[in-house]
Structure formats: structure tokens, C-alpha cells
Amino acid sequence: MVGNGPVFSDEPTRLDSLVREFCCGQSGRIVDLTDSATVTLALGADARDDCAVYDISGAMSLVVSSDYVRGPRFRLYELGLLANFDIGYYLVAANVSDIAAMGATPIGVLTVVRYPEELDDAGFREIIAGIHAAAQDFGTCVVGGDIGSAERIILSATALGSCRLGRGLTRNGAKPGDLLCVTGPCGIRGAAVAYFPRRGKDLGHISATTESRLLQSWRRPRARITEGRILSKHPYATSCQDTSDGLKSTIEQLSRSNGLGFEIFSGAVPIDSAVIEVAELLEAEPMTLTMSASPDFQLLFTLDPANLNACEREFRASDCEINVIGRATESGQPTVIVGADGIPRSLPGVPWVHQNVDISKLVSGG
């Protein structure tokens, strides 16, 4: 059997034989071009230098953010439901989502991939392949980072993006009366984390189709780059944030950073059918699960009502979804949800607190 077992090569070998192939031909590419600025990736990862280098001329805003990925985001990986490719893909999506939330175009990602001895070359290469596939799907590339050994798999990344000078979508700028909108239903990834670890134990099964939808939300997450760019270009959004901490948390954060309350229209909040199925099993309200901790990458943003029609048209033309789910109230007002009975209630759901919250237990009405 010699030569047929798993191969574990050292870091320089992995860099040369498993990483480099993904980085060919980066250097020299124009990675963003607007009427006001040109951004060229002068030296990419293929240049093998101390740093990646971007040549910038003109006027622009550069946005940059770092996210580490582990904890509950890995629970499904540990259960064997996500592959090495998937966690690489997820790492990039999570980081690019922050760029999207600023209304920027991703111009590069740096990834840190550390691995334990058990992860052989084939497994390592799958993570790298997932990382590069995601970068490609999001229109960008991996320009650098770090690989090497560690006690466990460690995934961390930094994403860079560019937008027109001063046009980044910040978390504040909303006025009373602005509409609160979201690019799609939330809570799906949280529902997956609530469901799979207990499936067939103290919980029954949902349909195979729904299981597949839940897993797909983790396997191929979409960062809302197109939506962010539309919101920043005109500029429509008065404030914006991604929903990676869950919908309730994100609404509360926008409320705090704008010093405003929000009135949420209960009937207008989009609820995914997979969330409804999982909520039934958990004996929880679908709205509660929709609002709870879930690293979805939807964008939550505010909009002057006068811009709604134009913005909707642009979203439709790009095949993007927009849902008006509430409106900003006066300063000092609480954030409430209003149902068919017209009575304002506090927002349901378990906001993101720290990594080890068991959402499924907390949202359960049983």
C-alpha cells in the first residue's frame, strides 16, 4: 500500500504544488475601473512577494474588513454535512459580504488557512479550491495570505473593495420615515444549525428537499454584491448592514447607530419555507426563527420612500429581491413589530450573543 495512503506535505510544498496553480495570471489585471479611478492589481499572489500591490489612480474609497470563521459555523462540518470545499467557499463569502454591505466591488481577498496533521494534501487542496471558486464567483481573486500547521483548522480572511469616493454605505444616515428593506429571507442558516445536530435524536425529520435547501445555504452562500452596488451607485440607501448576526441583531444595530426606532411590518417580513418547516419541528414561531441568530448575508438597509420605485426597478432589472419590512420612527422610539392586530410588540428572536448559543433550544416554545 506504500504510495497509496494520504499524502501530508509540508508548508512550502503545499504552497508550491497546491496553492500556486490557483493564482496564475493575477498580476497586471485591472480589478476596478470607474469614471473616477482605476485600480490595477500590480502584484498578485502569483508574484510571490512580501505583499500584494494595487496601483491606484484617481479618487476612490477603499474598504477593508477581516472575519475569522469557526464555532457554530463549523458544526455542520463536524457533522460531515459540509465538505472542505464548502468551508473554504464560506470563508470567502463571509468576508466579501462585508464588502457588499458597504456597496463596494471586491478587489481582492487574503486568506489564512491553518490545518492540523490530520488534514492531508487532498483535503487541504479542497479548502483552497473552495476559496478560489468563491473568489471567482464573487468576481475577485485571492491575492495573498498565510498557510501552515495548527492544532485545528483555522480559517480567517480579509477582503478589500473599492467604490466611488465617499459612496460607501455606512450604518448611519437614516432619517425618520425612511423605509427599512431586506434583500431576502433570513434565518435559513440558523435553522440549519438548529435542525441538523438534533435530527433523528430529539427532533424528527423534515423533507429531503428542505434539508438540501438548508445545506445549500451553507455550501454556496451568496454575498449581495450586486445589491450593494445598486444601493451605493445612485446612492439610494441611507444606511446599510449585512445580516450576518441575524435579522433581529441587525435591526437593533441599525437602530442604535442611527438613533432611531423601527416599526417592523410583521406581514411583510419574508419567511423562507425551510424556516417554517424547521420552526414547526422546534415548536417555535417561524418569525422567531427568522429573526434569530443566523449568519445570513442579506443586506438590511434604509431608503428614502421617494427612491423606492427607482430602486425597485433597478433591483428587478438585475434579478435582485427587495422587501420593504418596516419604517424608521422618531428618535427615542423603541423598535417594535406590528401584526394584523395593530398592536406593537417587541421583536421576537434570539439575537447573536456569542458563538455557543444553542439557537434551537432558545427559540423553542416547547
Where do contacts with its own copies occur on this chain (CB under 8 A)? 10-12, 37, 42-43, 47-68, 70-71, 98-99, 101-102, 104, 108, 110-112, 114, 143-146, 148-152, 154, 156-158, 160-161, 165-166, 168, 170-171, 241-242, 257, 353-356
What one-character DSSP code corresponds to residue 148?
Answer: E
**What DSSP element (H or E) covers 213?**
helix 208-219
Residue 69 or 192 with smaller CB distance to its own copies: 69
In the three-class reduction of DSSP (H, G, I as helix; E, B as strand; rest coil), residue 41 is classed as strand
My answer on whether omega of the bond before 295 falls inside 30° of 0, hence cis, is no
Q: Which amino acid is at 37?
A: A
CA 22 to chain centre: 23
Residue 114 or 198 with smaller CB distance to its own copies: 114
Residue 30's nearest CA partner among 131, 104, 132, 140 is 140
Largest CA distance in the chain: 72
Residue 154 or 203 with smaller CB distance to its own copies: 154
What nine digits make up the cell of 41?
492589481
Least distance from its own copies to the Cβ atom of residue 318, Å: 21
Q: Which amino acid is at 124?
A: F
Residue 209 or 355 with smaller CB distance to its own copies: 355
Residue 99 or 281 with smaller CB distance to its own copies: 99
Instruction: Answer yes or no: are the C-beta atoms of 194 and 279 closer than 8 Å.
Output: no
Residue 53 or 324 with smaller CB distance to its own copies: 53
Q: Which residues of 228-242 are buried (b: 16+ CB within 10 A; e: fewer)?
A: bbbbbeebbbbbbbb
What nine digits make up the cell of 282?
422546534
Instruction: Answer yes or no: are the C-beta atoms of 201 and 281 closer than 8 Å.
Output: no
Q: What is the dihedral of CA 116, 48, 93, 205, to 10 degrees?
A: -30
Residue 57 or 346 with smaller CB distance to its own copies: 57
Least distance from its own copies to the Cβ atom of residue 184, Å: 18
Least distance from its own copies to the Cβ atom of residue 55, Å: 5
Q: Which amino acid is at 112?
A: V
Least distance from its own copies to the Cβ atom of residue 276, Å: 29
The rounded distance, in Å, linking the Cα atoms of 95 and 101 is 10
Least distance from its own copies to the Cβ atom of residue 109, Å: 10
Residue 175's nearest CA partner among 46, 304, 56, 270 is 304
Residue 17 or 355 with smaller CB distance to its own copies: 355
Least distance from its own copies to the Cβ atom of residue 356, Å: 7
Least distance from its own copies to the Cβ atom of residue 250, Å: 11
What nine digits make up the cell of 63?
474598504
Least distance from its own copies to the Cβ atom of residue 234, Å: 19
